Structure 1
Amino acid sequence: MGNTYDVRIWKTEVYKGARGNTYWVRWGVAGKPWKEPFKQKALAESFRSELVSAARKGEAFDTESGRPVSMRRAAGDMSWYEFACAYVDMKWPRVAATTRRTHAEALTAVTTAMFVNDKGKPDDKLIRSALCRWAFNTNKRNDPDCPSDIRSALRWVQTHTRPVSALSKPEVLRPVLDALTVRLDGGPAAPSVVSRKRKILNAAAEYAVEVKLLSTNPIPALKWTAPKTVHAVDRRSVANPIQARTLLNAVRAQQRSGPRLVAFFGCLYFAALRPEEAVSLARHNLALPAEGWGELHLDVAEPHAGKEWTDSGKNRDRRQLKQRARGEIRTVPCPPELTALLHEHIDRFGTAPDGRLFTGERNHGELPKLTIVRAWQRARAEVFAPEVAASPLARTPYDLRHAAVSTWLNGGVPPTQVAEWAGHSVEILLKIYAKCLDGGGEVLRQRIQAALGHPMSHAG
């Protein structure tokens, strides 16, 4: 099965025969011509109108039947697998590479819970790989280089998946939702992951309603409780200034890539940049004096998605800033310490031909995600005692951004200003960082001690 958006629809043709007129609706799908005969003009125009409407709505057309996915029900209901492929194709041109990947992961989890039976089922790991990396990747599904075992697994899936309409049955939908809460190793999935996958399933169900494969979306009506999602940052993960600077120094001491990454991590800690924003930072984004406060003018981000999900074939997808329109910039203050780090980095390593600051060692290439992660892990292992290294403290590079925002808030910067610098709404900012705000806990504990009859000076 293949889907495409390459569709052309021509005017209805009339053939005047001895037994009356025949009205031919003609259209093309991916360069292949199709036509359908009708004895009545009204029926022909109605059919043509459905084709035009589907094309205008951005609906995918099936290359095998020439019909929009919503019309492929001649022999009964569409299978979930077939529909999921069509849904991926519909979304693919409009979403970021990272979203394409998360769609594939979520739809893989749903599909494996929609099998009719296990008779002759291939290995579970093979099925997951076939679905996530091939079936739910628009660019790779029809790749002639697809391995034979992958093709065989997908043929089995195609003939052993329930119809989309089965989701309207609680006895089918409930196990599907339950499957989203379990990791591959059988342990409970993170609530945020469950929430994300459920949202994707819900959006797919809404699309199924739109293309008339479901009469209504059954998910909201089902009495099913998702794991509670924690949005707030764990304050135990937030490094203080001494810890952050110690980690940066540990990165600097690493050979050979460490010195190239100090300013990168500095951008996360001192300016609260997201890693994908720091990766894309270029010379033209900097407004820096020789020393002192400067500014960073951010205009793009390059989140890591993997080359199989991007249109460019690169590991990173070049996108607009998060929660910003394409071309919109965000200005962030650059403290004197970061100004010095950036000057030091440029003086020592220069920039790539396109002005990019942070690159890999080889030919100013892309800064690998694995290089960033390994450098940070080594720095934590060197700086922290084993029991601290096992804690959430600065566990990931992203925690440096959390530390920066928390420092701004606790330093008295108004939340509206912090939200603007960090690229958040004020509501989300306070929701995420509420537990990181210093609410005067020590003073409150002293008051409780006094109320219990202990001297204030003895409070601990």
Structure 2
Amino acid sequence: MTTSYKVKFWGIRTNTRPQGVGKKPRIVSHTVRWTVDNREKSSTFKTKGLAESFLSDLRQAARNGEAFDPESGLPGSMVKAKDTRTWYSLAVSYVHAWWPHAAAKTREGMTDSLAYITPVLTGDVSGRPDDEEIRRTLLEYSFVPEDRRPPPSPKVLKVVRWLEAASLPLSALEDPKHTRAALEAISLRLDGKAAAASTYRRKRAVFHQVLEYAVELGELSANPIHKVKFRKVKSTGEIDRRSVVSPEQARRLLVAVTYAGRTRGPMMAAMFACMYFAGLRPAEAAGLREANCGLPATGWGVLTLETTRPESNTRYTDSGEANDERGLKHRGRKATRRVPIPPELVAVLREHIDRYGVAEDGRLFRTRSGKSFPGSTVSMVWKQARMYAFTPDQVASPLAGRPYDLRHAAVSLWLNAGVHAPEVAERAGHGVDVLLRVYAKCIDGQHETANKRIMEALTT
């Protein structure tokens, strides 16, 4: 291989696409440019972070005195790495590249998906550890940034060495059987039963993105997932109508919550009320502050939502706590959403503040120590409330099976009350198209209206 030490680097070029008259061009990619022996080279990346990381690697190689290959434009170490890159190495690289740009729940879903796929994409190498050991090592060590990794035990190091030796080279994924094996793995749960369609779709998206990352880096010529005809029943995302409670059932549940524990239930009651009367997501309720609440003495009030506090494993959060503070779902970091609330919820929130006060940062719902309620505790209180409020048959049914179902009941109520879809979507924080697709089966009166119109047509 002919090599050269004559290397020159240029700045990163930002590539944009026009958005129309008067609109700011949209950034679509970033191109790293350099020359080797006066031959121009370039590599394009979707994010500026990836481009900067790649350019940094090139410059580091040049500073270390490495010779560059004029054909590929890469230093010798990177040429070798490209030829020997394994799936395990790619997956680790992908996680580390995207970690800073992802929310805690996204990190958790990403690493969980890769922990299903990685053990499958291995060869027949002796000394294979137990599958549970492999999964635990991936989640707790390999798929965590180096500065967050715990000191590795001898068992962890043994698993890592086996993965490095057994992981298939990326070139093996050109054979559809390996890609199919990975898709089969994510279509099943750990107990071997079929995974939900939405779970499969989420994990497949991660697999697809990692393979696209390999294509972007030039380590695969094309995404091999497109060659495999593997289909799973699509999930519409529609709400199960059987889970939606009536206003009377919802109020009964909210009362029952106050009987779940000496203090836990009463301190959570207003939080559940926000999910039902304002249609808040649990993470939105957890982030609600007194400053966000307009609570007049009479009449309707308003909640101005601006933050959420989703719960995740502390391994994935930036704060090291179970709840990171984030912006509203599917909106910009500083975006807000106004939700008018009925007098009944205004009274509930005023009473809650008078009785329990607020946290140091103004949050309404927190434990005695000031932290957000753990999801396991919320689920436990909700389970008890259902047992107090429902008959045995209702307890065994999907009716309000999760606290989130209170939000579904709220949105269904608004639609059935005749509130226009755009207004409901604005209050719920949905797009109109998503709203109508998700809640299609929860809108009453459609059959009767359709029958009436058909009858009129038949008798005309």
TM-score (norm 2): 0.83
Deviation at 1:86, TM superposition (A): 0.4
Please say if residues 7 and 36 of structure 2, whose CA atoms lie closer than 8 Å, have aligned partners that are also in contact. Answer: no
Matched, 1:259 2:266: yes
Deviation at 1:134, TM superposition (A): 1.8
2:327 aligned residue: 320
SS of residue in 2 equivalent to 1:296? strand
Q: Structure 2: how far apart are the matches of 1:387 and 1:66?
A: 67
Match of 1:418 among 413, 424, 445: 424
Aligned pairs, number: 413
Matched, 1:311 2:336: no
2:180 aligned residue: 174
Match of 1:157 among 154, 163, 170: 163
Q: Structure 2: how far apart are the matches of 1:174 and 1:70?
A: 33
Please say if residues 276 and 303 of structure 1, whose CA atoms lie closer than 8 Å, have aligned partners that are also in contact. Answer: yes
Structure 1 residues 140, 241: CA separation in 2 closer, same or farther (over 3 Å shift)?
farther
Q: Structure 1: how far apart are the matches of 2:352 and 2:222?
A: 57
Match of 1:119 among 120, 123, 126: 126
Match of 2:136 among 94, 106, 129: 129
Match of 1:87 among 94, 100, 111: 94
Contiguous gaps of at least 5 residues in structure 2? 10-33, 62-73, 455-460
Q: Structure 2: how far apart are the matches of 1:359 and 1:139?
A: 33
Q: Structure 2: how far apart are the matches of 1:111 and 1:166?
A: 13
Structure 1 residues 331, 80: CA separation in 2 closer, same or farther (over 3 Å shift)?
same
Match of 1:357 among 346, 354, 364: 364
Q: Match for 1:122: what amino acid? A: P
2:231 aligned residue: 225
2:115 aligned residue: 108
SS of residue in 1 equivalent to 2:437? helix
RMSD of aligned alpha carbons = 3.1
Give CA-to-partner distance per residue, 1:227-250, whole Å, 9 cap, x none. 321310000011111111111111
Structure 1 residues 272, 62: CA separation in 2 closer, same or farther (over 3 Å shift)?
same
Give CA-to-partner distance per residue, 1:366-400, whole Å, 9 cap, x none. 32222211111111122223332121110111000
Deviation at 1:149, TM superposition (A): 1.7
Q: Report percent identity of matched pairs.
A: 41
1:372 aligned residue: 378
Q: Match for 2:216: what amino acid? A: E
Q: Structure 2: how far apart are the matches of 1:234 and 1:70?
A: 57
Structure 1 residues 144, 330: CA separation in 2 closer, same or farther (over 3 Å shift)?
closer
Structure 1 residues 193, 315: CA separation in 2 closer, same or farther (over 3 Å shift)?
same
Q: Structure 2: how far apart are the matches of 1:55 and 1:378?
A: 48
Contiguous gaps of at least 5 residues in structure 1? 1-20, 27-40, 449-460
Matches within 5 A, 1:236-385: 236-254=242-260, 255-362=262-369, 364-385=370-391
Q: Structure 2: how far apart are the matches of 1:70 and 1:258?
A: 63
SS of residue in 1 equivalent to 2:422? helix
Match of 2:395 among 389, 398, 409: 389
Please say if residues 176 and 227 of structure 2, whose CA atoms lie closer than 8 Å, have aligned partners that are also in contact. Answer: no
TM-score (norm 1): 0.83
2:51 aligned residue: 57
Matched, 1:184 2:177: no
